[in-house]
Amino acid sequence: MELRICIDVDDLERGIAFYTDGLGLRVGRRLRSDWVELLGAASPIDLLVEASGSAPLGDARPQRRSYERHWTPVHLDFVVDDIELSVQRLVGLGATLERPLQERRWGRMANLADPFGHGIDLLEFRGRGYDEMLQPA
C-alpha cells in the first residue's frame, strides 16, 4: 500500500520553496496548476492549493480552511541530520519555532508550524533512534 501525504496551501510557490529549500525535497510532477508532487521523503507529498476560508470537501460545514496556526491531531515528523541548521533554515522560510529544542533519550526534537499553520516536528536521532527507549539490545 502506498501512502501519499496531502498538504493544503494558499500559495503554491511558497509551499514549494518551504519544503524543497527547507527540507531538501524535490519537485516531482506538476499535476495541475494548483497541485505539485514533492519527492524525497518516504512518501510523496502533494501540495494542493485551496483558498483560505474555503469549505473542506466543498460542503456547508461551519469549519473553514485557515492558514493561521491551527491544531489537528495529525502532524508530520521529518528526520534531519542537523536540527539547529534545519530549524534556522525553516524559520528563515517562514516557519515558527513553537518551543525550544528538546532533548530526549532517543535524540532531539523541534516543534514548528509551517507558513500555512500546519504543525511539523523535526527529529534528530542519536544512537538507535526510538529503539533507545527499549531495553538494551
Rounded-to-integer distance, Cα 24 and Cα 10, Å: 21
At residue 105, the pLDDT reads 92
Rounded-to-integer distance, Cα 92 and Cα 68, Å: 18
What is the mean pLDDT, run by run of 10 residues, along the chain of 137 residues?
96 98 97 97 96 79 84 91 97 97 96 97 94 80
Is residue 9 one of the residues assigned to a domain? yes
Q: Domain with 39 in it: what CATH number? A: 3.10.180.10
At residue 54, the pLDDT reads 86
Q: What is the pTM of this model?
A: 0.90
Rounded-to-integer distance, Cα 125 and Cα 132, Å: 10
Query: Do both 87 and 132 map to the same domain?
Result: yes
Query: How many domains does the chain contain in total?
Result: 2
